[in-house]
Amino acid sequence: MINEKLEKAFNDQINKELYSEYLYLSMQAYFERLNLKGFVNWFTVQVQEEHAHAMGMFNYVHERGGRVELETIDKPETNWESPLACFEQVLEHEEYVTSRINALMDVADEVKDRAALSFLDWYLKEQVEEESNVGGVLATLKLIGNDANALLLLDKELATRTFVAPVIG
Q: In whole angstroms, what separates CA 30 from the centre of its chain?
A: 17
SS3 letters across the chain: CCCHHHHHHHHHHHHHHHHHHHHHHHHHHHHHHCCCHHHHHHHHHHHHHHHHHHHHHHHHHHHCCCCCCCCCCCCCCCCCCCHHHHHHHHHHHHHHHHHHHHHHHHHHHHCCCHHHHHHHHHHHHHHHHHHHHHHHHHHHHHHHCCCHHHHHHHHHHHCCCCCCCCCCC
- pLDDT for the residue 169: 76
Please give the Cα distance from 83 to 34 (Å, whole number): 9
Report mean pLDDT in 10-residue bins for the chain, 169 residues: 98 98 98 98 98 98 98 97 98 98 98 98 97 98 97 98 92
Q: What does pTM read for this prediction? A: 0.96
- Residue partners of 137: CB distance under 8 A and separation at least 6: 42, 87, 154, 158
**Domains contained in the chain, CATH given:** 4-158 (1.20.1260.10)
- pLDDT for the residue 36: 98
Query: In terms of residues, how long is the chain?
Result: 169
- pLDDT for the residue 51: 98
